[in-house]
Homo-oligomer: A and B are copies of this chain.
Amino acid sequence: MEIQHPYLLFLGDVADALAAKTALGIVDWRQDWCVGQTRLDGCQADTGLPDMTIAEAKAAGARTMIVGAVNAGGVLPDHWIASIVEAIEAGMDVASGLHTRLASVPQIAEAAERGGRSLFDVRHTSERFPTGKGTKRTGKRLLTVGTDCSVGKKYTALALEKGMRERGYSADFKATGQTGVFISGRGVAIDAVIADFISGAVEWLSPDAPEHHWDMIEGQGSLFHPSFAGVSMGLLHGAQPDAFVVCHEPTRTAMRGVQTPLPGIQEVIDLTISCGKLTNPSIRCVGLAVNTSELNEEDAVRTLDGLTEAFEFPATDPIRFGVDPIVDQIARDFPNP
């Protein structure tokens, strides 16, 4: 499956920017893939892209309309259906991150069938995967792991793809969540896979590659999160990373959505190595990606300096200060001949 760009971003009539965070994430990383946005009356979100009708977007070259906003519950509101059908009839594919499957809505399924257009439900997966094998694959892999959910694992993997490419490395972001799939046009929402096939799906996502090529694999959840650690574990085994980066939010006091205390960074490093060496005995940590958005500049610098001193690898905030220190560490640990 590959979602074709250019994209038109459909925001519906959602009530705030948070509800459009998928669309905002796409614009952050792939603005050049987007021709514009379509909003319904009352929409309170704005990506900053030009507003346009579906016909205008088609004329501007859009090949896929992304339903890049989500209302409460993730269901598809009835009054969004007409826009989706209109996009299909204009000749676009449609991709959605909603719980509701596009093809489960008869008008949408029929329009796609009639027009021969593709429907992508990135929160679901129709791909069948083999079970994981754990066999060593060629090429290099980096996985972003976390002390918690929502600490910057996707952002860090994308920033590292960019940073590695700027240094002349061959590097590809590999998406394991829905926004990541839109940003890269492909990938697997790994938490939507049947449990038996978690590691197998990641092996499929990141196959054999040239020796010095890097896949920068987006992590999910945390080995210490009681809701999602199974996903994180299968993802770690399937990714068989040579290197990993620990993502962390220093002001958080409990895991997201539950009452479990946050683990320490060293605990995350230790358990990631302890479990990860099953499929890659030479796994190592190459950096810390710290979300310092809740700290002022001075506190942020002090926090990062303290962490860099305490650990044997660099700590940086990818948004505030970039990922160069981590790319430097990768270059030291894995010298290209």
Contacts and interface: CB of A to CB of B under 8 A. Distances in A.
Contacts of A209: none
Most buried by B among A200, A223, A231, A279: A231
A329 interface: no
Interface in A272-292: 274-275, 278-279
Q: How many copies does the complex hold?
A: 2
Contacts of A232: 230, 233
Contacts of A199: 226-230
A237 B229 contact: yes
Contacts of A192: 194-196
A72 interface: no
A258 B295 CA distance: 47
What's the interface size class on A, roughly?
A: 35 or more
A198 B200 contact: no
A230 to B, nearest CB: 3
Given A233-B233, A275-B271, A278-B260, A227 B132 contact: yes
A229 B224 contact: no
A230 B234 contact: yes
A131 B199 CA distance: 20
A226 to B, nearest CB: 3
A192 B260 CA distance: 26
A134 interface: yes
Contacts of A134: 226-227, 258-260
A132 B195 CA distance: 14
B278 A230 contact: no
A230 B193 CA distance: 12
Contact of A235 (B200, B223, B230, B234): B230
A190 interface: yes
Interface string A4-43: 0000000000000000000000000000000000000000
A11 B132 CA distance: 31
A195 B257 CA distance: 17
Contacts of A238: 226
A70 to B, nearest CB: 16
Contacts of A275: 223, 229, 271
Contacts of A193: 194-195
4 closest cross-chain pairs (CB), A and B = A230-B234, A134-B226, A233-B233, A191-B196
Given A132-B226, A134-B258, 11 more contacts: A134-B226, A195-B231, A196-B231, A199-B227, A200-B227, A226-B237, A229-B233, A229-B234, A230-B232, A230-B235, A233-B233
